[in-house]
Amino acid sequence: MTRNALIAALCAACLAGCSGEANRQEGEAVVLGDAAREVEAQGLKPQPGLYKTTITMTGLEIPGLPEGMEGHGAGLARTLESCLTPAEVDKGFDALLKKGQDGECAFERFALAGGQLDAVMVCNAQGRTSRMAMKGTLTATSADLEAATRLAFEGMGEGTMNFTARHERIGDCAAR
């Protein structure tokens, strides 16, 4: 999964502060824009500010890795900081979700109750499909998620990447 698709997933998770399961027929996918409009209708807006996201890889399995390399990369962490401006918040959830999206993404499953998320997002980009299952705790200014991503490696088969992600508001954005 690309960094942009991961950011889209985190945005979707962090902005999805409504309760219950997305309104749809059984088996029908929920596109990110529809989920965003549903959240917006609930009256929840993210708080503008400076956010820190730390992503820690907990497992990596790629077909064809040499023996002894299984799980290579586990424990590697990357921290990013980004500013969510009042103008970005005012554009609405749909614009925020699409900002980080890489390809076409939709939720295969989306359930959120009492701040607990259980979701599966499927993205199709550059002729490839990735499937990310996410579970964790969400608030309007934070997310603690565990995720497992299945993706196809060209000519090699399907692999997995597991990670944890912590997304939190750490203050106000720097003055420009």
- Residue 119 falls within a domain, yes or no? yes
pTM of the model: 0.72
Give 13-43 pLDDT, tens digit per residue.
444 333 334 444 555 676 666 666 655 555 4
Q: 148: number of CA atoms within 13 Å, CB side? A: 7
- Residue 37 falls within a domain, yes or no? yes
Total domains, the chain: 1
- Residue 93 falls within a domain, yes or no? yes
Name the least confident of 45-49, 103-107, 162-166: 103-107
Give me the domain span that covers residue 50.
3-171
pLDDT of residue 131: 92
Task: Examine the pLDDT at 79 and tell me if it is beyond 70.
Answer: yes
Q: Which residues contact 68 (CB under 8 A, 6 or more apart)?
A: none
Residue with tokens 């991503």: 149
**Alpha-carbon gap, residue 60 to 38, rounded angstroms:** 34
H and E: helices and strands count for the chain = 4, 9
Name the least confident of 22-31, 122-131, 143-152, 160-169: 22-31
- Residue 94 falls within a domain, yes or no? yes
- Residue 68 falls within a domain, yes or no? yes
What is the mean predicted confidence (pLDDT) over 84-112? 72
pLDDT of residue 15: 42
Q: What percent of the chain has pLDDT over 70?
A: 65
- Residue 176 falls within a domain, yes or no? no
> In this predicted model, which residue has the larger pLDDT, 122 or 42?
122
Q: Which of 4-13, 103-112, 154-163 has the highest mean pLDDT?
A: 154-163
**Alpha-carbon gap, residue 109 to 119, rounded angstroms:** 5
- Residue 107 falls within a domain, yes or no? yes
